[in-house]
Structure 1
Amino acid sequence: MANEPVSIVFKLYCLTVMTLVAATYTVALRYTRTVSSDLYFSTTAVCITEVIKLILSVGMLFRETGTLNKLQAVVVEHIFHSPKELLKLAVPSVVYAIQNNMAFVALSNLDAAVYQVTYQLKIPCTALCTVLMLNRSLSRLQWFSVFMLCAGVTLVQWKPAESTKVQVEQNPFLGFMAIAVAVLCSGFAGVYFEKVLKSSDTSLWVRNIQMYLSGIVITLVGVYMTDGPQILEKGFFYGYTPWVCFVVFLASVGGLYTSIVVKYTDNIMKGFSAAAAIVLSTVASVSLFGLQITATFATGALLVCVSIYLYGLPKQDTSKLARTEPQKDSKSKLISV
């Protein structure tokens, strides 16, 4: 349960791992897209990621059910006998497939630090989808932080920092457009998946399995349509190195680990983690890619970090204030709860 007591040590562990995974994934992906002449097919990496996520989700469902017979019964009921549910989860599968492929396009054309900052546009996108799809409201402070974040990203993109050690040809505009598509996909798919989860008491791991099964089919279609002839000529795993395998591993584990972080930490800690990932990505980019930080980039990155913190602050509970105000007018009356 979300309210179960959790030690500060475990929260710090979750925070540290989430920060390192986010920063390392971005820097490692950027490295694999800029240092090798035998460039691997990003569509195959996305497909393999979905396969690994499916295997891990089945393992977690087995741990949840306890026995192979119960696991088999759950899979038969929710997978083979529920085509409508599979179709429902195919929607976020398509959107996430697009998002993951856009990440490869973006990091092929933008530095890891620039990507990490700009990708925080997913926060206002998610906020907008939450308001429209889940009928939730945002506080004034949250709306202010959203506009601050957009201003920070604008500064970062206005005069982006440049890498001096990257020799491959890059298209910053293409990279930014790829991030724009990715954040739109992230916001919609995340809120849609949350809505599906809360519409029934079906296990999270069952929903993940339904989504990843659709994701494998969708990404395989993408592999065939995008790189089919080249893959037939060079092979599915052309250009794969230990670093590429590491990127696939991070992408697979990171997505599943996020659910643990969401369960056991609060928004302030998640915001701090995002800000720390930006700092780590910037430091790594300076040493690995020769990133030259400009004043506008530093200012924009600072605004983004502050806005993430402000967005995660808890809302003020006005209901308690409203209930206590009548006490001032009629001290002699008892207050009923």
Structure 2
Amino acid sequence: MANEPVSVVFKLYCLTVMTVVAATYTVALRYTRTVSQGLYFSTTAVCITEVIKLFLSLGMLARESGSLDRLQTSVTKHVFRSPKELLKLSVPSVVYAIQNNMAFLALSNLDAAVYQVTYQLKIPCTALCTVLMLNRSLSRLQWISVFLLCGGVTLVQWHPVESTKVQVEQNPFLGFIAIAVAVLCSGFAGVYFEKVLKSSDTSLWVRNIQMYLSGIAVTLLGVFISDGPKVLEKGFFYGYTPWVCFVVFLASVGGLYTSVVVKYTDNIMKGFSAAAAIVLSTVASVLLFGLQITATFASGALLVCVSIYLYGLPTEDTTKLSRAEPPKDKEATQKLITV
């Protein structure tokens, strides 16, 4: 948490923003994937998101540099004259590209509430990657919360709930596999990127630019491998509606905004935010998609919310973990990447 004093009102504002962004993105993305006619190509949406993030990072680097000359010097030095660094950052670029495309596939086959709950598996996945790749330790309470979370997700997936107002064909098993791949990608890429950040004093926004440049190349390749003939026939922006543009906006700008406000909150508030996003997604799914809530789903969702809260509780053992944590700015940038 930032050292400067922050009012309770501002913390609540941050909590509200994070919750609304997370829930709205999931529900809006689900809505755009339930349209049976003129469905847009998800690969192009992922590519556009990378482009927007690149320009946002350039803007932030310009602000950090203080002048256009310094910006040009920094970009030339760290981007055009550093092919090894670009190659190094191409690893998370590929992984994040897979993750983002899996999110579209998952929400094409699963309800937003089910997705929101199941996607919390990124917490134990990130914890495991942190232990293995960064040699950190987790407290006993955190490990208990990880197992509780896995149990809650198992309950949610035990008897998949149905959405009565969705007419498109769905494959819940395929949706779960897509989420599983997405959370694995999220955990590995997030920890890998943090390790790269700690290996040098290079500006965080420079690292973002390096990764987004690689990301654009990777996602463009994905567009033409997956949807190449269709894109050439119908156009890159085929099927785009205001809702689709809104989803792209949330994916690119929402992550940046959330990363800025997250540094003013603590783990407990972030846990509340995740739990509240699950509740909002569930309510929206009932109203918009006719989601039928079952006792199994409700029990699993509640268990996930409790585990998220427990995971964020401060304990004595977590000092082992926090000792190796990067400065908050690095943590904030990492959150931008993983959204």
Give 1:166 deviation, angstroms: 0.2
Paired position in structure 1 for 2:138: 138
Q: Distance in 2 between matches of 1:139 and 1:123?
A: 14
Aligned to 1:54: 54
Quote the residue 2:96 is aligned against. 96
SS at match of 2:108: helix
Distance, in Å, in 2 between the alignment partners of 1:138 and 1:274 is 20
Q: Say whether the 8 Å CA contact 1:160–1:294 is kept in structure 2.
A: no
5+ residue gaps in structure 2?
320-339
1:11: how far off?
2.3
- State the partner residue of 1:211: 211
Distance of aligned partners of 1:318 and 1:289 in 2 relative to their CA distance in 1, 3 Å threshold: closer
2:216 and 2:309 map into 1 onto residues whose CA distance is 36
Matched, 1:176 2:176: yes
One-letter code aligned to 2:137: S
Alignment partner, residue 199 of structure 2:
199
TM-score by length of 1: 0.92
1:217-253 superposed Cα distances (whole Å, 9 cap, x missing partner)? 0000000100000000000000000000000000001
Matches within 5 A, 1:1-337: 2-316=2-316
Q: Distance in 2 between matches of 1:296 and 1:318?
A: 32
Give how far 1:181 is off. 0.1
Q: 1:265-319 CA deviation, whole Å, 9 max, x = no partner?
A: 2111111110000000000000000000000000000000000000011122699
User: By how many angstroms is 1:201 displaced?
Assistant: 1.6
**TM-score between the two structures when normalised by the length of structure 2:** 0.92
CA distance in 2, matches of 1:12, 1:62: 30
The answer to whether the 8 Å contact 2:14/2:262 transfers is no
Q: What is the CA deviation profile of residues 51-70 of structure 1, one whole-angstrom value per residue up to 9, with x for unaligned ones?
A: 00001111111111111111
CA contact (8 A) 2:139 2:318 kept: no
Q: Deviations over 1:50-89 (max 9, x none)?
A: 0000011111111111111111111111111111111111
Distance 1:284 1:131, change over 3 A: same
The count of aligned residue pairs is: 319
Q: For residues 218 and 318 of structure 2, what CA distance do their matches in structure 1 show?
A: 46
Give SS of 1:245's match: helix
Deviation at 1:203, TM superposition (A): 1.4
Residues 96 and 189 in structure 2, CA contact (< 8 A), matched pair in contact too = yes
RMSD, aligned CA: 1.3
- 1:4-31 CA distances to partner (integer Å, 9 max, x unpaired)? 3333333222221111111000000000
The answer (yes or no) to whether the contact 1:268–1:313 under 8 Å persists in 2 is: yes
Query: 1:129 touches 1:187 (CA, 8 Å); kept in 2?
Result: yes
Secondary structure (helix, strand or coil) at the match of 1:169 reads coil
